[in-house]
């Protein structure tokens, strides 16, 4: 082969080409990763039992905390046990075929394997209780759950999404005792307006701490 460049220069050229190639590959991987996250938005996730928040929350008015019992006190919101479902369904719709996995779970003692709708990578720390305490409504991050026959995701859950709020959470907050309510846009806006002057809004952590890497990556 003809020697185009002296060996030393050729090595540099090869390294540069390799570096450009690797960067392009990295960008591609990142783009696919992002697109994948976006694709999950608005897609109902099939579950072992077709549980409907629309019926249980929207029509029957059951409070989030009845089933997600840890959401005010812990990082993890908590998922309802089979026994929680059976407080009503040991009578109601007892023989419905779609509830067969529920009775099977009660017999065997194996919890129902609900499929995750939201799942942050393990290197991200998230905590429900602090958000509830400071007045970030469920609806703000999870949307109109009370209208979902099967649950889907409305938020991208990417770092920029978290940071956008952490830089200035005030406009997004409600009074903490109203975080569980599902509201139409005008009512949701009114709830945020009402909270703007409230004491808890003033007592927020510093912006520096809320955007500090170690707050979410510990």
Residues 39-98 that bind ligand HEC (CB under 6 A): 47, 49-53, 55-57, 59-60, 62, 64, 66-68, 71, 76-77, 80, 84-85, 87-89, 92-93, 98
Minimum separation from the CB atom of position 156 to ligand HEC (A): 7
Minimum separation from the CB atom of position 18 to ligand HEC (A): 23
Structure tokens at 33: 């990763």
- Altogether, the residues listed in the chain come to a count of 218
Minimum separation from the CB atom of position 186 to ligand HEC (A): 19
Mask of contacts with ligand HEC, 118-137, x by CB under 6 A?
xxxx--xxxxx-xxx-x-x-
Q: Please, which of residues 159-198 interact with ligand HEC by CB under 6 A?
A: 159, 162-163, 165-166, 169, 172, 179-180, 182
- Dihedral sign computed on CA atoms, order 113, 116, 120, 125: negative
Quick count: other Cβ atoms within 10 Å of Cβ 169? 19
Q: Is 179 exposed, middle or buried (0-12, 13-18, 19+ CB in 10 A)?
A: buried
């Amino acid at each position: 082969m003809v020697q185009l460049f002296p060996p030393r220069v050729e090595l540099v050229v090869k390294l540069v080409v390799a570096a450009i190639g690797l960067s392009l590959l990295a960008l591609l991987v990142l783009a696919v990763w992002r697109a994948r996250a976006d694709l999950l938005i608005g897609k109902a996730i099939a579950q072992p039992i077709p549980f409907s928040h629309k019926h249980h929350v929207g029509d029957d008015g059951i409070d989030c905390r009845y089933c997600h019992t840890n959401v005010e006190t812990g990082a993890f919101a908590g998922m309802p046990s089979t026994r929680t479902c059976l407080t009503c369904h040991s009578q109601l719709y007892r023989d419905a075929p779609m509830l067969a996995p529920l009775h099977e779970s009660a017999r065997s003692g194996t919890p129902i394997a609900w499929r995750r709708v939201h799942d942050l990578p393990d290197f991200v720390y998230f905590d429900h209780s602090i958000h509830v305490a400071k007045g970030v409504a469920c609806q703000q991050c999870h949307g109109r759950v009370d209208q979902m026959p099967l649950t889907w995701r409305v938020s991208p859950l990417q770092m920029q999404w978290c940071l956008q709020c952490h830089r200035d959470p005030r406009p997004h907050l409600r009074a903490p005792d109203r975080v569980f309510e599902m509201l139409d846009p005008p009512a949701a806006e009114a709830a945020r307006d009402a909270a703007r002057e409230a004491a808890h809004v003033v007592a927020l952590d510093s912006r520096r701490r809320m955007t500090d890497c170690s707050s979410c990556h510990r």
